[in-house]
Amino acid sequence: MPSVRQLLDLQAVDLDLAARHRRLGEIRELLGNEGDLPELRVRVGDLGTSVKTIGARQDEFDTAIADQTGRIEKVEAKMYSGLVTSSRELADLQADAAMIGRQRSESEDALLGVLVELDDAQGELTETSERLERTETEWLVDQDGLAEERTVLEAEVAVLDEKRAAQAATVPPPELATYERVRETHAGYAVARMRSATCTSCRVGVPNKIAQTVRASASPVPCPNCGLLLLAD
């Protein structure tokens, strides 16, 4: 039927338009959406702060160890200067040197732990920073690609809009109204082909009388099962 065939052609254009509009909607969602980037930036900032804090603790232990080493050297210098003649004073100096030595040993143990912590933090900072850089580069490439795709799709939509208007103008208004009504309730589809008295959409056989009407009628005839307008092959 000429009018139903026109509707099938119109449906093809409408489906093309719908697909492009869906993709444009997806692109609108993706453009400007940074995904994991904000979280990665925060993580890099937190790790940078952590590295500075641990580094400050390292400096404190380095200073303490240097101070303790200097105190030990002063005590030992006095012990071995030959100026200390009292055995009690010498014993006190030895006790001081031992106490400061223990303090320095504790500081060195603590410093070792801090250095391990600092190495781990610096490693994670380096890894996360590199991941952030890669992600930002990939994101920029994707954004450029999406912007280009949007431009192409918008041009295609403009062409299809003109084609759709031209084709719709050739369809009799009653048939066009029926097409639009069916299309609204069937996810953009309004026309299905009928092959060997079977609707190709729902795969259900069409009663002979209706099948004959489909073949002979100039007006759209709906499938009694799914409601799409049938076009006889």
Q: Is a pLDDT exceeding 80 seen at residue 2? A: no
Whether 129 and 44 map to the same domain: the answer is: yes
| Better pLDDT: 95 or 217 | 95
Give per-residue pLDDT as tens, 125-184. Answer: 999 999 999 999 999 999 999 999 999 999 999 999 999 999 999 999 999 999 999 999
Q: Is residue 166 part of a domain?
A: no
DSSP string, 188-210: T--EEEEETTEETTT--BPPHHH
Whether 140 and 35 map to the same domain: the answer is: yes
Considering the chain, what percentage of its residues have pLDDT values greater than 90?
Answer: 92
> What's 47's domain CATH number?
1.10.287.1700
Q: How many residues does the chain have?
A: 233
Beta strands in 116-215 (DSSP E): 191-195, 198-199
Q: Quickly state the pLDDT bin for 233 (edges 50, 70, 90).
A: confident
Q: Is residue 178 part of a domain?
A: yes
pTM: 0.75
Domain end position, chosen among 125, 158, 191: 158
Whether 35 and 22 map to the same domain: the answer is: no
Judge whether 107 and 61 are in contact, CB under 8 Å: yes
How confident is the model at residue 219, as a pLDDT? 84
Give per-residue pLDDT as tens, 75-121. Answer: 999 998 988 889 999 999 999 999 999 999 999 999 999 999 999 99
Give per-residue pLDDT as tens, 36-64. Answer: 999 999 999 999 999 999 999 999 999 99
Judge whether 197 and 211 are in contact, CB under 8 Å: yes
Q: Is residue 165 part of a domain?
A: no
Q: Percent helix, strand, coil in the chain (nearest 5)?
A: 75, 5, 20
Whether 135 and 176 map to the same domain: the answer is: no
What token pair was written down for 57? 């603790």
Q: How many domains does the chain have?
A: 2
- The total of other beta-carbon atoms located within 10 Å of residue 184's CB is 10
Whether 39 and 138 map to the same domain: the answer is: yes
- Of 179, 174, 182, 208, nearest in space to 194 by CA: 208
Whether 185 and 220 map to the same domain: the answer is: yes
Give the residue-averaged pLDDT of 4-33: 96
Domain residue limits at 176:
2-26+172-232
Q: Is residue 130 part of a domain?
A: yes
What token pair was written down for 231? 């076009």
Q: Measured between alpha carbons, how far is 72 from 81 in angstroms, rounded to an integer?
A: 14
